[in-house]
Each structure stands twice: as structure tokens, then as C-alpha cells.
């Protein structure tokens, strides 16, 4: 009965299509629903809409009967006998098939039988042991530094070891949202002074009970990093990603994951669309999404900056805003000195947008931070330290925060810079933050550390690399130990979610990080340390800092470096060991093993296709859709809206362009938005 009814409906539909084809055949364009879908996406969309309407109009009882019949047919198919071949001496982890009670009636494909993905049984055993150890390394470094490791792989690792998995509370501590009527800059709830002594040794901060304990070499009982173990683990991973069988296995598994996604899409695309339409009060626009990779100095679009420059000139033309070699200048005098008038400026003459000239030219891109090519305007409008104490910069950021609040479902984590040139940088930045009350409920902050030690050393600002690390981390430790004497910094630290390491990754240092590498206090040359050297010592200090802050009940920090945009594949390997999540990750496409490990560990990757398009990789070649299909945890971010975006909502612009170019479905975009929420450092409250 069901089949005859379906046949009749299909015959009726075919007649209508045929009639529409014949009608006005002489004058109509040759667009047919029978063409290949890539040639005629419009008719494909019409067909899909028609089928969905037809499906929705049918009675629920008929649909249940049809699904029951399909399941009955599937159960009637013969199932391959289980092979008695044991593929590995590692205890097999067999998970029971989940019961899809609360999930839509999706069609599923089941693959049965033993299959070693194109490698021999002996190689398969080597591969599994290698991947198991790699995941254990990742888990160890995440737990020691109070960062995140997903529950699912942790459960499988315990099962392999024969242990019972237990949920632990070892994880990052986030600052809860400010309640109504509560002051985000309140200092009355700061902790007491512990009286500890803080001292850096071999590039790592150690905590002592008092100064006398330093001489006795008795630091407090906190986890401290071990360089030798780190290098051993790094060398193991280097060998693993270069092994032929591991590369073959990882490559084939990644192809399988991609094919699995495509099969699911073919079978269930219409069901997904139907579920989305039947879900009330939720669509892509009111899914929460977080811009997890955005720089504060470029968080506004070029039109916003131009409008603010003109407004400030109209209001503050006679205000002293600049100090030029001891000579104070008003805003009007400053523009006269630059031979400019704000009312003559356009977004083109502002010249802050990245174009064709910046491709593969990071030096030219950095120059785009100077409006009209004038560093004076950058100092005035985009810096926290200047003659007006960064007032204009704070106002611009608060306006961006207000736009996010108006959008309601968009959040951001802008990055502010700490260079490590002086120990006073932290206190100056905290003073700027508190003085101008730079707060928005839709914003949290991150600290980026540019890898420019060589610049400071050549100008004699620093005696050695250890001093740079000291300037970056010791003030934070001191504020953690004694918040009462560092009130502004302690308040500022409550609103910080993590640390970032930034610079042009394509710059080659030539140094191979090992146990023989000079200690930071011994690195006195003007040559810049390698990426891995920077990453290790930043991670090492964040590890100690997080454990100390966790003991005190304070919020902890995530390590989220720029990684994999360019440069060597070892950057991604170092981040696999140390980083909670990364930004960019383009070079993962060059290493199937690392790509597979990032999938297994579900390491979040904030990707910025528009940024990459102007600097390193054409948009159409971006691996974001490929990573998404394989199951890597990717999200979209803007990087620098001032350079790359045109609209008031740069994050929505990023999603819109990706959806059009990569043909992402609404379901894809919602999943990417969800990933950004899981990746961020905002409290789940």
C-alpha cells in the first residue's frame, strides 16, 4: 500500500516536471531539473524544497511506518562474521552502540569486520601504540597546566590501561559573569598576602615560602616543568609523525572520516534541514558565537575608525593630545604637521586595509596598522600609552563592545600586548583598563606576547632572554601572591582568559630546541630564539602560575598561541604538547599524522580564511571545510577586522563569506559557532 502510494505521488510529480519542461519551450532558457546539480543549483534547491514540503505534509504515522520498514530491511541484511584475528596486543576498546532515542531518524551506514586501514598487522600495532602514547603525552601536559583534555579520549585511554575512568575536577577556572548591580572593577574581595617569595630560575618562576627558603632551595610544593622530559616527549612525537606506516594509517583514516561525512550529508541532508526548521526560537543568527582570535588594535572596521577620527577632531580639535620630543601638540596642530585634514580622509586614504600587496609580505601588513601611513595616528588612536593615557583607544573598544551587546549573541576575546621590555608594562596596562573602565559583558581579554626579543636586544633594552620572561611573568605572580598591593593588576587579571604568542611564523631562527639549548639567562645573543623555545618557556611559567592561582581560588589562564599559519611543522607539534587551542593551523594539511592527532584530541583551531587570503593562502584553497568534514574542531574568527573586513559585524561577515564559498549548510555553521563557544575562555555560566 505504501509503495503504491509513493509510486503514484512520484508519477504525479514527474508529470508536473515534464509539463513545466514542455511549456514555452521555444522561449525559455534551458534549465532543467535533470541537469547535474553543480550545473543547476537553483533547480536542485527547488527540488529539495518541494520534497521537504511533501515530506512535512505527510502524516507522522506514515513516516514512522516507512522508517520502521527501512530498519527492518536493514536488519535482514547478512552481517559479516567477526574475525578471530587479533589486530593488536593492546586491549581492544569496544564501545556498545548508542541508542539513538532522542536523535532524528537519520540513516546510518555500518562498517563491520577487522580492517587495519592499509597497513600490515605488525605496523598496525606500532601505529596504535604510537598514537596511544602521543595522546597520553597531550593529556599529561594539559592536566599539569590546568588546561582542557576532552572526556572521550580520556575514557578510551583509561580503558586501554585497564583502569576505570573517573571524572576529575582538574580543569581551568573561569571568572563567572558579573551579576546585576555588581561592579566588575571591585577590589573589596581580593585575597590576602601569602608572604611568598617569587624568583625566576632558568627561565621558570619558582615560589618560595620566604627568602630564606631560596638559599635552602626549598620551593613550595607546586608542579614544575621538566625540560628533559619535555624534550624526550617532543623527540618521540617528531619520530612518530615521520614514520611511514603511521603516515599511511593516518592518511587513510582521515580520508575515511571525510567520506563518512559526505555519505551522512547525502543520506540525511533533508532530514537535517527539516529538524532545523522544526526547532523553535533557534537558528544560526541566535546561536552564540565567539570571536576567539581578534587583536584589540584592529578590532574595529576601517569605517568605524575613520568616523571616530572625524568625531574626535570635531570635539577635541584644541585639546593637547600629542607629545612630540617635548613639544605638546593639539589635535589640530598634529594634523597640520601631517599635512592632513580629517574631513578630507576616506577609507581609501586611511590605507589600513590589506590588499594584494600584502600577500606573502608580513612586513607590509604590519605597516597597515598605521592610519594614513602615520605612526603618530597609531600612537594616538590605537595605543594604551600616550599623552591622553589611551583614552581614544579605550573609547573605540567600548564602542565595539557596545556593538557586540546590541548583536546579543556575539562575543569576542581581544588581545592586548605585553612585550616584556619592562616590568612596568603590566601595571600601566592594568591602570589603563581600570581608569577607563574598559568592560563589556560580551568581551574577555587575552594577552599576546610578540616574539621580538631580537629587536629589544639589538637596541640594548634587554641583557638576555631571561629578563624578557621575567618582565612578562613575575608581575603576574606577585599580584597572585599579594593582591592587596597590586589591586589594579589583580582586577585586570580577573578579566583575562589566556596568553598568546604572536609574530611572523615564516621567520626562520635556525635554532633546534634541545636540552643543550642555552638557558634563558645565557641567551645573550641578538639572535631570536626558535618558536619552540618561546612556546616551552611560556607554557612552563603558565603551568606554575595556573597551579598557584587554582590553589588561591583565582581564575586560571589558557595557552592559545598563533600556530601553523606558516613556518615549520614543528610549531604544530610543540602546540600539540602545550596549547589548549591554537589560531590558524593551516600547515596541518601538510602532516596527516598531526592532523589525525589534532582530531583525536579535539584540539580547537580558530581559523581566519579572510586573513589568510590576504597574507598566506588563497581563500578557495583554505583547508577549513576539509578539516570540518574530517571532524577537527574548527571555528571561524576575524583576526583583524580593520584590515580584512568591511561591515559593522565582522564575525558575521566571516561566516557569511565562508558559507557562500564553501557551501556550508546552516547545520555546519551552527556547529562551527558551537565550537567557538567550547574553545573560548568565557565562563559557561
Residue positions annotated with a catalytic role: 584
CA proximity to 502, closest of 559, 454, 562: 562
What is 250-310 written as a DSSP string?
HHHHHHHHHHHHHHHHHHHHHHHHHHHHHSTT-SSTTS-EEEEEEEGGG-S-HHHHHHHHH
What is the distance between the alpha carbons of residues 618 and 640, in angstroms, rounded to a whole number?
17
* Residue 299: partners with Cβ closer than 8 Å, 6 or more residues away: 396, 397, 400, 412, 414, 641, 642
DSSP 377-393: HHHHHS-SSSTTTTHHH
The closest of 684, 679, 683, 685 to 291, measured between CA atoms, is: 679
- Residue 416 sits at the vertex; the CA angle it makes with 415 and 419, to the nearest 5 degrees, is 125
CA distance 5 to 63: 13
CA distances from 501 to 449, 559, 676 (A): 5, 9, 19
Cell of 587: 600547515
> Cβ–Cβ contacts within 10 Å for residue 454, how many?
17
Query: What's the maximum distance between 2 C-alpha atoms anywhere in the chain?
Result: 98
DSSP string, 489-512: HHHHHHTEEEEEEES-TT------
DSSP 199-219: EEETTEEEEESSHHHHHTT-B
Grid coordinates given for 361: 609580505
585 Rama class: left (phi>0) / alpha (psi -120 to 50) / beta:
left
* Cα(122)–Cα(425) distance, integer angstroms: 56
From residue 549, how far is each of 194, 195, 554 by CA, in Å?
A: 12, 15, 5
CB of 380 within 8 A of CB of 321?
Answer: yes
Q: How many CB atoms lie within 10 A of CB 585?
A: 28
Distance separating alpha carbons of residues 489 and 487, to the nearest angstrom: 6
Other CB atoms within a 10 A radius of the CB of residue 82 amount to 9
When computed from its CA atoms, the radius of gyration of the chain, rounded to whole angstroms, is 29
Closest CA to 300 of 358, 374, 359, 371: 371
259: its cell numbers: 567520506
Any idea of the CA torsion for 297, 625, 129, 141, to the nearest 10 degrees? 20
Which residues face 499 on adjacent strands?
447, 559
Going by C-alpha positions, the residue among 486, 599, 645, 534 that lies closest to residue 255 is 599
Cell 608594562 maps to which residue?
425
Amino acid at each position: 500500500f505504501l509503495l503504491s502510494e509513493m509510486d503514484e505521488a512520484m508519477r504525479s510529480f514527474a508529470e508536473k516536471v515534464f509539463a513545466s519542461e514542455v511549456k514555452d519551450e521555444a522561449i525559455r532558457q534551458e534549465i532543467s531539473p535533470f541537469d547535474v546539480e553543480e550545473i543547476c543549483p537553483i533547480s536542485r534547491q527547488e527540488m529539495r524544497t518541494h520534497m521537504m514540503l511533501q515530506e512535512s505534509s505527510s502524516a507522522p504515522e506514515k513516516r514512522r511506518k516507512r522508517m520502521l520498514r527501512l530498519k527492518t530491511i536493514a536488519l535482514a541484511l547478512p552481517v559479516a562474521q567477526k574475525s578471530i584475528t587479533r589486530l593488536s596486543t593492546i586491549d581492544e576498546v569496544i564501545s556498545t552502540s548508542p541508542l539513538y532515542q532522542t536523535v532524528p531518524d537519520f540513516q546510518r551506514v555500518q562498517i563491520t569486520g577487522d580492517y587495519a586501514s592499509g597497513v600490515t598487522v605488525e605496523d598496525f600495532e606500532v601505529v596504535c601504540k604510537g598514537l596511544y602514547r602521543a595522546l597520553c603525552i597531550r593529556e599529561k601536559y594539559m592536566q599539569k597546566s590546568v588546561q582542557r583534555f576532552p572526556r572521550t579520549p580520556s575514557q578510551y585511554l583509561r580503558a586501554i590501561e585497564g583502569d576505570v575512568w573517573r571524572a576529575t575536577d582538574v580543569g581551568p577556572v573561569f571568572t563567572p559573569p558579573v551579576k546585576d548591580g555588581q561592579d566588575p572593577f571591585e577590589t573589596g574581595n581580593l585575597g590576602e598576602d601569602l608572604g611568598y617569595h617569587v624568583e625566576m630560575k632558568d627561565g621558570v618562576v619558582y615560589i618560595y615560602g620566604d627568602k630564606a627558603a631560596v638559599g635552602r632551595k626549598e620551593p613550595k610544593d607546586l608542579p614544575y616543568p621538566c625540560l628533559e622530559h619535555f624534550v624526550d616527549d617532543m623527540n618521540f612525537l617528531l619520530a612518530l609523525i615521520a614514520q611511514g606506516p603511521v603516515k599511511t594509517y593516518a592518511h587513510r583514516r582521515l580520508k575515511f572520516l571525510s567520506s563518512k561525512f559526505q555519505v551522512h550529508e547525502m543520506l540525511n541532508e533533508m532530514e537535517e534541514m527539516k529538524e532545523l526548521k522544526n526547532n523553535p526560537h533557534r537558528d544560526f543568527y541566535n546561536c552564540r558565537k565567539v570571536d576567539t582570535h581578534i587583536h584589540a588594535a584592529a578590532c574595529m572596521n576601517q569605517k568605524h575608525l575613520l568616523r571616530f577620527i572625524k568625531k574626535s577632531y570635531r570635539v577635541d580639535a584644541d585639546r593637547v593630545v600629542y607629545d612630540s620630543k617635548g613639544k605638546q601638540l593639539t589635535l589640530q596642530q598634529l594634523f597640520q604637521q601631517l599635512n592632513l585634514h580629517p574631513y578630507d580622509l576616506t577609507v581609501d586614504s586611511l590605507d589600513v586595509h590589506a590588499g594584494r600587496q600584502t600577500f606573502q609580505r608580513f612586513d607590509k601588513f604590519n605597516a597597515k596598522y598605521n592610519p594614513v601611513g602615520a605612526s603618530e595616528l597609531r600612537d594616538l588612536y590605537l595605543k594604551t600609552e600616550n599623552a591622553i593615557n589611551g583614552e581614544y583607544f579605550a573609547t573605540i573598544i567600548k564602542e565595539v563592545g557596545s556593538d557586540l551587546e546590541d548583536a546579543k549573541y556575539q562575543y569576542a576575546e581581544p588581545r592586548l600586548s605585553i612585550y616584556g621590555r619592562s616590568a612596568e608594562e603590566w601595571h600601566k596596562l592594568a591602570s589603563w583598563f581600570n581608569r577607563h573602565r574598559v568592560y563589556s559583558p560580551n568581551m574577555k581579554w587575552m594577552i599576546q606576547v610578540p616574539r621580538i626579543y631580537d629587536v629589544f636586544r639589538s637596541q640594548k633594552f634587554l641583557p638576555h632572554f631571561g629578563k624578557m620572561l621575567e618582565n612578562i611573568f613575575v608581575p603576574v605572580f606577585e599580584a597572585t601572591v599579594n593582591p592587596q598591593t597590586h589591586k589594579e593588576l589583580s582586577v585586570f587579571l580577573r578579566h583575562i582568559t589566556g596568553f598568546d604568542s604572536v609574530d611572523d611564523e615564516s621567520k626562520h631562527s635556525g635554532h633546534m630546541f634541545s636540552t643543550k639549548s642555552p638557558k634563558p639567562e645565557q641567551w645573550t645573543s641578538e639572535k631570536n630564539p626558535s618558536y619552540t623555545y618561546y612556546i616551552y618557556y611560556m607554557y612552563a611559567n603558565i603551568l606554575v602560575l595556573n597551579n598557584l592561582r587554582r590553589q588561591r581560588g583565582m581564575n586560571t589562564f589558557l595557552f592559545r598561541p598563533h600556530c601553523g599559519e606558516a613556518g615549520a611543522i614543528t610549531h604544530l607539534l610543540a602546540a600539540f604538547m602545550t596549547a589548549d587551542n591554537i589560531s590558524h593551523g593551516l600547515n596541518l594539511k601538510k602532516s596527516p599524522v598531526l592532523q589525525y592527532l589534532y582530531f583525536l584530541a579535539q584540539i580547537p583551531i580558530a581559523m581566519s580564511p579572510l586573513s589568510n587570503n590576504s597574507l598566506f593562502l588563497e581563500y578557495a584553497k583554505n583547508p577549513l571545510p576539509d578539516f570540518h568534514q574530517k571532524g577537527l574542531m574548527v571555528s571561524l574568527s576575524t583576526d583583524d577586522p580593520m584590515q580584512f573586513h568591511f561591515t559593522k559585524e565582522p564575525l558575521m561577515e566571516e561566516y557569511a563569506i565562508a558559507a557562500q564559498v564553501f557551501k556550508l549548510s546552516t547545520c555546519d555553521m551552527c556547529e562551527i559557532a558551537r565550537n567557538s563557544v567550547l574553545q573560548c575562555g568565557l565562563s559557561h555560566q
